[in-house]
């Protein structure tokens, strides 16, 4: 008799499988206020490692961290017309503070362009102060009617970058650099994610931006998820907040700006892009625990061996956890590490000791084989790099297999409904076609050029649209 | 003619000197909503390094990071009577979300004991789940009527630890361990701060705690500042939230808890404990920039030399910044680095090149001397460690010099008013004396034993009170 699955199978009900994984792998719980989320230690450990790696990449392009207040006067948002229109329906409003009703209500930041510009306008005086490159790691709040853990939550954690430049070209190049050099490289190299880089259509653009660059990923059910965005803000906020500088020629000029963000949603994407019916599969370069060494039984020789292997692997630069909780049944622990997606398990029992081997179980390709214990420190770093590459390859192959080239709106909608993506010439779709698709809950995820590059304009000839259902 | 000072001298007006430093060293600005704060990159860089170091120490005692929501249902706070009484006057309340009035208003977390317990009560089932050791890095909001940047702000950043244990003894030992092993060691070893470790009186205890352990520092004007606290919560929150576990004996028992926090206030303390009339003095172990190498003039040989020195020092493990902005006058740059408290400046001009030397200027002891450039990589790491030790010694000596042993309430109040601390037997003061001092804006900072240890109880015989004015 087959044992009952721990998780709802993906093919049966993907959203329920997702909920099951989040719950059973102890990534997060629903918060008490609708749409909020408690990130549990295992989930937060993934986010922490994403933060560390991204933070280094953000600093490497010359950006400095700072911190702006959570509370923004309501009047600030109103200064940029498109911005307030986009965010007003999602705001949380504080009306009382310190036991009194406030004279002016304050909003809990949904994003910080307005308050950042209030300060940029003070800090920027001359061309010498530019470019001004700032990032913050913070929580933001956007009231969410149909919340889903990590993917859409009322409060989420993110980094938001805000920059000011002396010219349009410089700002534009910087937004593109973040898009490609920071976000895309991080997602591909560390998260092993397959991402399409493109530009958003006018309909999907950030409220207040001239252009939004996006990274889109295909999840395990063929739906799309937006993984990060980088915006060219032009002079829209500079105009609203009088953020100007004295140019080399002695003229007072408005700055050109960018903003860009990536969020805890990436944890949800990690689950949905790499997970399978047995749970998570964490890319080795991200994994807080790359290898777990399990004692099958609690006898002294086994315990000594798992600790010894743990030390050898640590010395070889592997992030190891030794599981010697032998008062919990081995099978339960093995299933739990599988659920949690730890890339490699090394299992040691009395019989392995006799043979001088350990059982190496690989989570990503699956399969197990006995390996002589002394070979592990040389073997496992290679295995981890192989499996990192495999995850990315599998994600790429899935997108390739599930993407259809089409020429009509009807075919595009059909491909999306069938759980895949469609590629269609933007000239064959256009804003009207996009609006018609929206009524069928299908959206244009992004535009790319014929050869897959990021286009300079929405209506550049040859632009191709990726069309899909999305989270 | 003496040049006009950049800062208000400390002796003239200490609070104004503090404001000047925060402003001129570009640490922070006031936010638009009363009491909020914008932390600028240089100030945030100090906080970031504090975070990194503390985070490693917190993890080293077995604690894991997680994240709990910003929004807490108002009803949660009411569950623990003392807690709500303490925090109600400082709450910020969200009444509207997503364009609608909320059915139940939510508070912006002033601290997270209540929401943490809601989840601990779900996560803890058996004695095997204990101890549960959790920390979060987050922002919190406490409405502040008399705000001062870093010291008292409506929103501040902090870490808050929350733990649950199977016994009173275990919880108590853990609170003490955080107090001594994490907070005190960090503050002494990294921040070079002189701290008194003691216990708070009942009057000064955290709202909902059985006991609060504190670290108190003396600022440059002789006032006291609370630098971190670690609370024994007993079973107060466990009772309110039914946080219980099945013991080894098969009994359902309430857990015993601790909570503990340290905040961005430490940045303000750093300014006020180590700063002088020329600005900040950053302890070398904390300093994001330990050594700045300045080109006095912009000629090629000088620029090549400062870059070479920068590389040599980086290779020697020093955190270096090369200042080659020779379009800004040298004098202005030198004053700016002095203001910012960078521990060592290495200044190179054409004349130094001829002699093969560089001018080494030490911010902490003051003074400058020429050093042969090739000796810098060996010399400067030693200088940095010496100056780290000197800062701590100076802080200790100041406290010693400005602390008076007294025997009456009147003498204690006088010593505090004169800009110092008083030590008085707690038996000679007691809660009535403490209340009388409070009317003169003087407080009992903490209680210690006769030989300076942390007492087991408020009324242990021989307890001594430190009495001072405080920020």
Contact flag B97-A92 (C-beta cutoff 8 Å): yes
How deeply is A287 buried, as exposed, middle or buried, from its count of CB atoms within 10 A (0-12, 13-18, 19+)? buried
- The predicted model gives A107-114 an average pLDDT of 97
Share of chain B above pLDDT 70, in %: 99
Superfamily of domain B291-383: Anticodon-binding domain (3.40.50.800)
Dihedral sign, Cα of residue A21, residue A22, residue A23, residue A27: positive
- Per the structure block, which two tokens stand in for A228? 């990060």
Contact flag B95-A95 (C-beta cutoff 8 Å): yes
Contact flag A98-B108 (C-beta cutoff 8 Å): no
State pTM to two decimals: 0.97
Q: Among residues B369, B384, B374, B390, which one has the least CA distance to residue B318?
A: B384
Q: Among residues B427, B425, B430, B410, which one has the least CA distance to residue B465?
A: B425
Contact of A73 with chain B, judged by CB distance below 8 Å, is answered with yes
- Residues of B in Cβ contact (< 8 Å) with A289: none
Does residue A6 surpass a pLDDT of 90? no
User: Bridge partners of B159?
Assistant: B137, B262
Contact flag B154-A92 (C-beta cutoff 8 Å): no
CA A33/CA B181 separation, integer angstroms: 36
Does residue A194 surpass a pLDDT of 80? yes
Smallest CA–CA distance, residue A37 to chain B, in Å, is 6
Q: Strand B92-97 vs strand A92-97: parallel, antiparallel, or unpaired?
A: antiparallel
Average pLDDT of chain B, as a whole number:
96
Contact flag A96-B96 (C-beta cutoff 8 Å): no
Which residues lie closer than 8 Å to A260 by C-beta, 6 or more apart?
A160, A161, A175, A178, A179, A183, A228, A229, A230, A231
Of A48, A118, A141, nearest to B32 by CB-CB distance is A118
CA A458/CA A201 separation, integer angstroms: 6
Contact flag B93-A93 (C-beta cutoff 8 Å): no
Contact flag A69-B32 (C-beta cutoff 8 Å): yes
Listed by start position, the domains of chain A span 14-274, 291-384, 402-468
Contact flag B99-A108 (C-beta cutoff 8 Å): no
Which residues lie closer than 8 Å to B443 by C-beta, 6 or more apart?
B204, B224, B434, B437, B467, B468, B469, B470
CB B270 within 8 A of CB B42: no
For residue range A407-438, what is the model confidence (pLDDT) as tens digits?
Answer: 999 999 999 999 999 999 999 999 999 999 99
**CATH code of the region B14-274:** 3.30.930.10
Q: What is the pLDDT of residue A2?
A: 52
Contact of B90 with chain A, judged by CB distance below 8 Å, is answered with yes
Fold of the A291-384 domain: Rossmann fold (3.40.50)
Of B67, B105, B141, nearest to A44 by CB-CB distance is B67
Dihedral sign, Cα of residue A450, residue A453, residue A455, residue A456: negative
Q: How confident is the model at residue B1 (pLDDT cuts 50, 70, 90)?
A: very low
CB A440 within 8 A of CB A413: yes
- Per the structure block, which two tokens stand in for A153? 């939550």
Q: Among residues A2, A16, A11, A137, which one has the least CA distance to residue A68?
A: A137
Contact of A103 with chain B, judged by CB distance below 8 Å, is answered with no
Q: Among residues A433, A137, A437, which one has the least CA distance to residue A262?
A: A137
How deeply is B303 buried, as exposed, middle or buried, from its count of CB atoms within 10 A (0-12, 13-18, 19+)? middle
Q: What is the pLDDT of residue A82?
A: 87
Of B64, B69, B92, nearest to A41 by CB-CB distance is B64
User: Testing the interface with B: which of A46, A88, A92 to mutate, by most B Cβ within 10 A?
Assistant: A92
Three-class secondary structure of residue B414 per DSSP: helix
Question: How many of the other CB atoms lie within 10 Å of CB of A300?
Answer: 7
Q: Among residues B131, B450, B456, which one has the least CA distance to residue B465?
A: B450
Asked if the B403-468 domain carries CATH number 3.30.110, the reply is yes
Q: Strand A368-372 vs strand A357-362: parallel, antiparallel, or unpaired?
A: antiparallel
Task: Report A:12-51 residues touching B (Cβ under 8 A).
Answer: 29, 31-33, 36-41, 44-45, 47-48
User: Testing the interface with A: which of B97, B112, B263 to mutate, by most A Cβ within 10 A?
Assistant: B97
Of B48, B90, B93, nearest to A65 by CB-CB distance is B48
Q: How confident is the model at residue A266 (pLDDT cuts 50, 70, 90)?
A: very high
For residue range A35-72, what is the model confidence (pLDDT) as tens digits?
Answer: 999 999 999 999 999 999 999 999 999 999 999 999 99
How far apart, in Å, are the Cα atoms of B8 and each of B5, B65, B148, B278, B364?
7, 42, 17, 9, 19
- The predicted model gives B341-364 an average pLDDT of 96
Looking at 3.30.70, 3.30.110, 3.40.1710, 1.25.40, the CATH number of the domain A402-468 comes to: 3.30.110
Does residue B4 surpass a pLDDT of 80? no
Contact of A241 with chain B, judged by CB distance below 8 Å, is answered with no
How would you list the strands of the sheet with B368-372, edge to edge?
Answer: B320-323, B291-295, B344-348, B357-362, B368-372
Does residue A3 surpass a pLDDT of 90? no
**Dihedral Cα B372, B373, B377, B382, nearest 10 deg:** 40
Contact flag A70-B155 (C-beta cutoff 8 Å): yes
Q: How confident is the model at residue B6 (pLDDT cuts 50, 70, 90)?
A: confident
How deeply is B470 buried, as exposed, middle or buried, from its count of CB atoms within 10 A (0-12, 13-18, 19+)? middle
For residue range A134-181, what is the model confidence (pLDDT) as tens digits?
Answer: 999 999 999 998 999 999 999 999 999 999 999 999 999 999 999 999
For residue range B452-463, what is the model confidence (pLDDT) as tens digits?
Answer: 999 999 999 999
């Amino acid at each position: 008799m087959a044992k009952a699955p721990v998780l709802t199978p993906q093919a049966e009900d993907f959203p329920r499988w997702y909920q099951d994984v989040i719950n059973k792998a102890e990534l997060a719980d629903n918060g008490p206020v609708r749409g909020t989320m408690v990130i549990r230690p295992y989930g937060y450990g993934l986010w922490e490692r994403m933060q560390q790696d991204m933070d280094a990449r953000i600093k490497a392009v010359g950006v400095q961290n700072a911190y702006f207040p959570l509370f923004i006067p309501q009047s600030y948002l109103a200064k940029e017309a498109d911005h307030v229109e986009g965010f007003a329906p999602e705001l949380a409003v504080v009306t009382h503070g310190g036991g009194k009703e406030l004279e002016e209500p304050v909003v809990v930041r949904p994003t910080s362009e307005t308050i950042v510009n209030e300060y940029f306008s003070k800090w920027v005086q001359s061309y010498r102060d530019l470019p001004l490159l700032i990032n913050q790691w913070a929580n933001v709040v956007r009231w969410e009617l149909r919340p889903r853990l990590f993917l859409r939550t009322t409060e989420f954690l993110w980094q938001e970058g805000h920059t000011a430049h002396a010219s349009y070209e410089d700002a534009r190049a910087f937004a593109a650099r973040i898009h490609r050099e920071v976000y895309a490289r991080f997602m591909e190299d560390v998260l092993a994610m397959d991402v399409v880089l493109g530009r958003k259509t006018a309909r999907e653009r950030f409220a207040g931006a001239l252009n939004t660059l996006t990274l889109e990923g295909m999840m395990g059910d063929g739906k799309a998820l937006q993984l990060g965005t980088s915006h060219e803000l032009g002079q829209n906020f500079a105009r609203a907040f009088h953020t100007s500088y004295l140019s080399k020629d002695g003229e007072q000029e408005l700055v050109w700006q960018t903003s860009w963000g990536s969020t805890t949603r990436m944890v949800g994407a990690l689950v949905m892009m790499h997970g399978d019916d047995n749970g998570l599969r964490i890319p080795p370069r991200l994994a807080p625990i790359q290898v777990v060494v399990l004692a099958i039984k609690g006898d002294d020789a086994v315990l000594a061996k798992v600790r010894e292997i743990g030390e050898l692997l640590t010395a070889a630069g592997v992030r190891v956890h030794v599981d010697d909780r032998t008062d919990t049944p081995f099978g339960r622990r093995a299933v739990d590490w599988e659920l949690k997606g730890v890339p490699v398990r090394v299992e040691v029992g009395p019989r392995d000791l006799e043979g001088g081997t350990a059982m190496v179980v690989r989570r990503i390709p699956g399969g197990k084989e006995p390996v002589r214990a002394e070979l592990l420190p040389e073997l496992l770093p290679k295995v981890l790099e192989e499996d990192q590459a495999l995850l990315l390859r599998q994600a790429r192959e899935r997108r390739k297999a599930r993407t259809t080239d089409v020429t009509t709106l009807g075919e595009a909608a059909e491909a999306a409904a069938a759980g895949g993506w469609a590629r269609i010439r933007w000239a064959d779709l256009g804003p009207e076609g996009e609006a018609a698709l929206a009524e069928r809950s299908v959206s244009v995820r992004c535009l790319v050029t014929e050869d897959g590059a990021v286009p300079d304009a929405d209506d550049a000839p040859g632009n191709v649209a990726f069309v899909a259902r999305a989270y």
